[in-house]
A and B are shown apart, each in its own frame.
Chain A
Amino acid sequence: MSTTFETIIAVAKAVTPNVTPVEHHGDLTIHVDRDHFMDVLAELRDNPRTKFNMLVDITAVDKNTSPDRYDVVYFLLSLEFSHRVRIKVGVRDDRMELPTVVEIWESANWYERETYDMYGITFEGHPDMRRFYMPEDFMDADGTQLYPLRKDFPLMGIPGSLPLPPKEEI
């Protein structure tokens, strides 16, 4: 493990000892529990040894297991040191929410909306928690909201959930 990775892990470990670093193909991933991930993210941004001043993306992973079903993934980039790290936070399927990180990086606004749209994970304290790509009334016949990137969503969608304009008579 390179010295850069050791620095990042040391900065994260100083916040909470509950971090699990994993290195895979030269990329560093740090698993953090949900009680401490906000502090770890804020520290990684502010610490002069890491300076992760850019949030590149937020997405989620549906592992299709219960109860630890989802991982929310934060992709960070330090423009000054040009190093990257992924932070993964587990989300249980009986508690589908996380606090928002909009106060730490403003760019999180749309990424969190997209994650909500695709997986149905809500972000507490988000200024505008609406759907992003799909229509606001994207639901099946029973009125259940649909989240297309979940593993149990059929690839071709649910017939009738997205209406088409009527075809004109010729």
Chain B
Amino acid sequence: MGLNEHLTRDGFVTTTLESVVTWAQRNSLWPMPMGISCCAIEMMAFGGPRADSSRFGSERFSFSPRQADLMIVAGTVTYKMSWVVKKIWDQMPDPKWCIAMGVCTSSGGMFRSYPVVQGIDQFLPVDAYVAGCPPRPEALMKALMYIQEKVSASKPTLANFGKDTGTVNRGEIITI
């Protein structure tokens, strides 16, 4: 029976608080656009009308880290920039997720040289690595859907009421 039928017949549904919070969390992942170089252009396309991230509740790019759940690191991270990325990540409230978009962010990519961090997982917990230079917006969409599944699988940390929150699994590698 669908939600609609429940509501029209009974006028109420029963569920657990945990699943409501998870449901709300997974459908309103607000990205922090950490657009550092060219990948950021495809990230804008991801927010634009054709790919349309608002279908997943992620149209609200948060330019303040304090209202963001998901950091999309899109671009070449140099050693000098790594401290800035980390500072912004630290300002985001838990629970938070991180997408490494593009090969530069995932592994240094073509910039195999002294100033570029060879993969941001050396200092950040990454949930999804998106391959491509730059990845198509569809690939970023798939990463977002993967994060949504991850959110549904984890228990909400904000509604723990003193209970064990379970571990938020980070560092799992998927390739889109």
Contacts and interface: CB of A to CB of B under 8 A. Distances in A.
B117 interface: yes
Contacts of B23: none
Interface size bracket, A side: 10 to 19
Interface in B92-146: 112-115, 117, 122-125
A157 B117 contact: no
Interface of B: 79-80, 82-83, 86, 112-115, 117, 122-125, 167-168, 170-171
Given A164-B123, A170-B168, A157 B82 contact: no
Contacts of A135: 80
Contacts, number: 43
Contacts of B112: 155-156
Contacts of B168: 170
A131 to B, nearest CB: 11
16 contacts: A134-B115, A148-B114, A154-B114, A155-B114, A156-B112, A156-B113, A157-B114, A163-B79, A165-B83, A165-B86, A167-B122, A167-B123, A167-B124, A170-B125, A170-B168, A170-B170
Interface string A126-149: 000000011100000000000010
Interface of A is mostly: loop
Given A133-B115, A156-B112, A157-B115, 12 more contacts: A153-B114, A155-B113, A155-B114, A156-B113, A157-B113, A162-B114, A163-B79, A164-B79, A164-B123, A167-B124, A168-B125, A170-B171
A166 interface: yes
